[in-house]
Copies of this chain bind each other. A is one copy, B any other.
Amino acid sequence: MKPEKTFDFHIRKTWIQISKMYNELVSAQGLTTSVGMALLNIDIKEGIRSTALGPKMGMESTSLSRVLKSMEAQGLIHKVSDPNDKRSVVIRLTDAGISKRNIARRVVLDFNQSIAERIGEKRTQEFIHTMTEIGHIISEQK
């Protein structure tokens, strides 16, 4: 089996291509792919508990801390204590964060729509089905 024939080769390569493209599209706005992904995972109204964001993004806490620190320094987020549980922290978007989130959302939507239009509904469903099944195979191997 040649590398070009493996699933992981295609998945990794395509993710790297997407990540680079997103970086190029949002860098003029002072954003990166990681910051954009984080913004999209924070609810505009409710914010998100800091402990929930890492698992949702599939990021380790050390990498995520770095991203959040930079987002706080850029004034995109602020941290407040959870009204229901004073020990935990909720990350909320600032107005600047909401505005940058809209930019990131537009970029993601445009790209995904261009794929969906090109390959059509049936192949889109099949693609998501296969990806989900690969996820199941990974879980079973653990």
Q: Which residues does A use to contact B, with CB under 8 Å?
A: 1, 3, 5-8, 10-19, 21-22, 24, 37, 40-41, 58-59, 108-109, 111-116, 118-119, 123-124, 126-128, 130-135, 137-138, 141-142
**Contact in complex: A15, B12 (CB < 8 Å):** yes
Known: A7-B116, A11-B131. 10 other contacts (CB 8 A): A1-B112, A5-B128, A7-B111, A10-B131, A11-B11, A14-B138, A18-B134, A21-B142, A114-B137, A118-B133
Residues of B within 8 A of A141 (CB): 21, 111, 114
Q: List 13 A-B contacts (CB under 8 A).
A: A1-B109, A1-B112, A7-B116, A10-B127, A11-B14, A11-B18, A12-B19, A12-B58, A16-B59, A21-B142, A111-B141, A118-B137, A127-B130
